[in-house]
Structure 1
Amino acid sequence: MTNPPETGTEPLTQPVTRPVSPWNIANVLTVLRLLVVPLFVVCLFSGPGWRYTALVVFLLASLTDQLDGWLARRYGLITDFGKIADPIADKALIGAALVALSLLSELPWWVTVAILVREAGVTALRVAVIRHGVIPASYGGKVKTVLQIAAIALFILPGVPGLLRWVLLGAALAVTVVTGVDYVIRAVRLRAVAEKARGE
């Protein structure tokens, strides 16, 4: 009995999928962003002389959001842990800044409450549908985060005209609301697709 001729199209080996450890450089940066939040708050409450230090800490922590995302995509380090932890780290940094500025009477509480309610709602939504799948951060969510960071930075930085601060903050609030609605729609669709696949 002869073997069938080789066509040259059969794969010699099966591709090996290497598991990605949740403790990779991208996720470590995300965790570090969480750990630096208390340092930022301490600097912000330490008096006028520490405002620039607080601003530098805030901006450096914010930059890690862009860096860890780039590393995860560039080197294939995307994990479910990162998809969940990254937006939580963003919310912790933004939330701490908003609450601190409101406690210092430099930002109205209604702004802080509006943003925090949206962020808490989105986080709760992610957890509620996690058995159906993970909702990754959207492009709109990233734009929202950048606008919030820029607006907060202007409130931290002394001497910035109030009009400039509020124009940027208004844009951040608008995108915050729109992307919040978008997350609700995506969560509903994700649940519907998952239930349909299971025949529920």
Structure 2
Amino acid sequence: MNLANKITLARIFLVPVVMIFLLVQFDIGYIEVGKVKLNVNELIATVVFILAAVTDGLDGYIARKNKIVTNLGKFLDPLADKLLITAALVSLVELQRLDAWIAIVIISREFAVTGLRLIAAAEGYVIAASPLGKLKTIIQIIAIVSLMLNNVPFSTIPFPFAYIATWLAVLITVISGLDYFYKNRKIVSLTKP
């Protein structure tokens, strides 16, 4: 197993760590940021989430640079991304920081695009990540981090950054999903003779 695939596997193994620190309340304490108390559990979960999110770009970069792109990596990388985002969204719903319908919209888009990619692969096509898809991932990560931190440091102003980032994530998620389907509509409409 090459280095890129090991990094991808590490991202998968970080998913339960994020969930544990978000959902299990260890008595670690709080850090004060201005007038806001930030739970250390949530801070640890956020740092681990950011670390895992950074590995998303790192594993792909290493694989391409060293010409070690493998079928296993092509399978594990999008799986790891979806596991990380889905776990974070479900945890935030559990913490009542995110409406369930928002998580469903984002997760549904991921399933739909994955399904489209499977149809394309069955027909011999590869659907690469689009610039909108990459932007979507970045905005989702920003929104999730701001929700994990309970809008700190913006809550001291007060400025609804987490709220704005979440709505922007939903908007770009829907737009990028529609973009994938529009640009690949011929693949979906292919019929077998």
Residue identity opposite 1:164 in structure 2: F
- Return the letter of the residue paired with 1:90: D
**Residue from 75, 85, 90 that aligns with 2:81:** 90
Q: Which residue in the other structure is 1:134 paired with?
A: 126
Q: Bigger shift: 58-67 or 68-77?
A: 68-77
Deviating runs (4+, > 4 A) in structure 1?
none
1:120 corresponds to 2:111: yes
Structure 1, residues 108-135: CA drift from partner, whole Å, max 9, x if none?
Answer: 1111111111111111222222222232
1:27-176 matched pairs, under 5 angstroms? 27-47=5-25, 48-132=39-123, 133-158=125-150, 159=152, 160-161=154-155, 163-176=160-173
Q: Are the equivalent residues in 2 in contact too, given 1:91–1:119 (CA < 8 A)?
A: yes
Percent identity for Structure 1 against Structure 2: 37
Q: Deviations over 1:150-183 (max 9, x none)?
A: 1100111143436111111222111111110122
Look up the equivalent residue of 2:111 and give its one-letter code: A
Q: Counterpart amino acid of 1:39? A: V
Distance 1:37 1:136 in 2: 24
Contact 1:83 1:136 in 2 (8 A): no
Larger strand fraction of residues:
2
Q: Which has the higher contact order (CA 8 A, sep 6+)?
A: 2
Could you state the TM-score of these two structures normalised by the residue count of structure 2? 0.81
8 A Cα contact 1:62 1:149, kept in partner: yes
Q: Does 1:25 pair with 2:3?
A: yes
TM-score, normalised relative to structure 1: 0.78
The Cα offsets for residues 87-116 of structure 1, whole Å up to 9 and x where unpaired, read as 221111011001101011111111111111
Given that 1:126 and 1:187 are in contact with CA atoms closer than 8 Å, whether structure 2 keeps it comes out as: no
Letter matched to residue 76 of structure 1: K
Equivalent pairs counted in the alignment come to 174
Q: Does the C-alpha gap of structure 1 residues 26 and 109 become closer, same or farther in structure 2, counting only changes over 3 Å? A: same
